Amino acid sequence: MNPNTLRIISIVQARVDAFLKDLFDIYKSSEDDLTMKTPSDAIATKTAICDAVEIVVRRRRNECALFSRLDVDVVHSIFGAALDVDLVHDPEFPIQNLDRNRHQLIRMRRVSTSWNNFLLSSPRYWRVVNIKSPSMVTSTTIQRSGSASLCIYCIKALPPPMTRFQFVSEELRSCIPRIQTLRSDDPDAYLLCRHLLRTRTPALRTLKLLGNTSPSTEIFVEPLGDLSPVRHLSAWAWRPPSNAVWLTGLRELILVHLSQLDTDIILVLSVCTSLELLYVRCGDDMVVEDLSGAPSLITLPCLQTMDLAFNSDEPAVNVIRRLVAPQILQARLEIAQVTMDLDQYVADYCKFMSPGERCIQHPNSASILIKGVSNNLNRLVYGTESHQVAISMNSEEALVFYNLVQEFQSLLKEPPLTVTIFRLSVSNWLFLTPLGDQNIRSITAHRCKQVDLLLTAIGASTTNAPTDTMESATIIWPFESLKSLTIYDTDLNVSQITRLVGIRQQYLREHSKRWIEEIVLVNCRLKGMRLPKAVKQLAAMGVTLRGVECSRM
């Protein structure tokens, strides 16, 4: 082989390797930034792939000439991957990012003439049609898409402003058999999308439509035609008819902005026997209608992921009591505000938190979030690796929340707990205090007022100290299982920390027990005692104290 050719191949390989290394480095850093894996994290990771491609192309823009020397097949092999990760048919990919992905591909066309020609000649590049585009653009896009499966979409926030859609153009009508994805978050496009669905859509797999979200407008339900190929349905401010046969083939069902829970909604859920994912969000003014004719059981044998959110406990309980999902792997329930009658629903919430048949082992750990939302309203979350219940309630209902936590812990065989606290005011500490008899291993507090209330809650009060007339063995010390305490962004008297541990020393020595082993103060403003002195005093008691300063975002 010609030495010059070998040199070119070597240079190309080095550049391609560097290109791919940049991609993996950026992608890996985006993964490291995610602290908790949820469905939204998965979407963020997918979006990061496209972001990484754009960043790397910018970094290597000066090497564009190099790509012009590559063989056409090599160009297609390298850059075709960008089309492979273009997530136009992924139902979980945010619709708002579809246009951004288009712009990223346009920027990548600048890498080289060969790459630009490859993209423009590829039907996959033209498979995305924005129905807000001018008719000439729509027509050109559809023509160049060849026989590729199409993604038809409409985004409300994007210009240009449009009047209400009235009809289906001939170009759109001609491509209906190739539509694989139809997604719109613009209520003005609702009728046009419904017109598209009147014709048979044999390739349609993903459907998302936004209806009229006005509170004064009733949700209108009418037949949508034969949608038997659809596997992913997102109905925003509307719902499918309960007698639609094609519902049995759905794998994912998303119902958002429901105004009422009635018999038809229960019927819709009960016939979706192939569901693997169920996502329900009700409107703020949701009402519960007469459910006397609704099925007593909703059996979803294939369901693996469930995410439910209601404005009150009444509609939530009406769904939970009927639901039978033995294969469930991930479950989440959120209630905007529970009533004082929560105690009567404890058995229902325990049923929701129970591991499915596929979850053989009990959870290894659980967590509690206590967050002050307003002066008297608090967001409270109890969760394991797979199940979560989030509720909001007033401070007066702290014991009701404690009873719920106690039932969950007993149900799940007392997994070790972590507690995270955000911005609690004076009255809201009532949610932490009763938890002292639970198996809590660590507590983390963020930006909490009057942190002395935290220290008092976990056992720093002098009233907990044994007196001459009391045997320490008879004292019930709170938070006996606590091992670590972390406090963020708080004004703190360090002397309270040393007293927090010192008050229990006699008791601990007498009973050969260990209590807190580590205390970490992050970005805290300290007073009362210098940190080195406090570190030394606590070290003598077997406790590690660390002060950490880190940059704030």
pLDDT of residue 372: 85
Residues 6+ apart with CB under 8 A from 536: none
Q: Which of 26-40, 139-153, 333-347, 453-467 has the lowest mean pLDDT?
A: 26-40
Does residue 509 sit within a domain? yes
Instruction: Give me the chain's average pLDDT, please.
Output: 80
Report in angstroms the alpha-carbon separations of 522 from 93, 148, 171, 449.
36, 54, 61, 15
Who has greater pLDDT, 553 or 247? 247
Percent above pLDDT 90 for the chain: 31
Q: Residue 442 pLDDT more than 90?
A: yes
Does residue 416 sit within a domain? yes
Does residue 55 sit within a domain? no
pLDDT of residue 218: 47
Confidence of residue 308 (pLDDT cuts 50, 70, 90): very high
Q: Which of 436-445, 447-456, 458-467 has the lowest mean pLDDT?
A: 458-467
pTM greater than the 0.75 cutoff: yes
Does residue 425 sit within a domain? yes
Confidence of residue 463 (pLDDT cuts 50, 70, 90): very low
Q: Residue 126 pLDDT more than 70?
A: yes
pLDDT of residue 420: 95
Query: Exposed, middle or buried: residue 414 (CB in 10 Å: 0-12, 13-18, 19+)?
Result: middle
Who has greater pLDDT, 442 or 237? 442
Distance CA 259, CA 231 (A): 24
Who has greater pLDDT, 413 or 66? 413
Q: Residue 49 pLDDT more than 60?
A: no
283: closest CA among 332, 211, 341, 231? 211
Q: Residue 33 pLDDT more than 60?
A: no
pLDDT of residue 344: 85
Over residues 91-110, mean pLDDT: 78
Confidence of residue 88 (pLDDT cuts 50, 70, 90): confident
pLDDT of residue 548: 87
pLDDT of residue 373: 82
Distance of CA 485 to the CA centre of its chain: 27
Does residue 59 sit within a domain? no
pLDDT of residue 461: 47
**Residue 52 CB neighbour total at 10 angstroms:** 20
Q: Residue 169 pLDDT more than 80?
A: no
Residue for token digits 């997918």? 46
Confidence of residue 545 (pLDDT cuts 50, 70, 90): very high
DSSP-derived pairing of the beta strands 377-384 and 387-394: antiparallel
- Structural domain boundaries, residue 542: 375-393+412-460+476-552
Percent above pLDDT 70 for the chain: 75
Amino acid occupying residue 148: A
Distance CA 128, CA 98 (A): 9
pLDDT of residue 165: 56
Does residue 309 sit within a domain? no
Residues 6+ apart with CB under 8 A from 517: 483, 484, 542, 543, 544
Q: Which of 156-160, 197-201, 210-214, 446-450 has the lowest mean pLDDT?
A: 156-160
Confidence of residue 105 (pLDDT cuts 50, 70, 90): confident
Who has greater pLDDT, 508 or 194? 194
Give the tens place of pLDDT for each residue, 404-432. Answer: 999 999 999 999 999 999 887 777 788 89
Question: How long a stretch of residues is the chain?
Answer: 553
Q: Residue 22 pLDDT more than 70?
A: no
Give the tens place of pLDDT for each residue, 512-521. Answer: 778 889 999 9
Does residue 541 sit within a domain? yes
pLDDT of residue 336: 86
Can you spell out the DSSP letters for 269-321?
Answer: HHH-TT-SEEEEEEEEEEEE---TTS-S-EE-TT--EEEEEESSHHHHHHHHT
pLDDT of residue 94: 84
Q: Residue 440 pLDDT more than 90?
A: yes
Does residue 110 sit within a domain? no
The tally of domains found in the chain comes to: 1
Q: Which of 159-163, 262-266, 300-304, 318-322 has the lowest mean pLDDT?
A: 159-163
Who has greater pLDDT, 453 or 486? 486
Over residues 474-500, mean pLDDT: 84
pLDDT of residue 60: 56
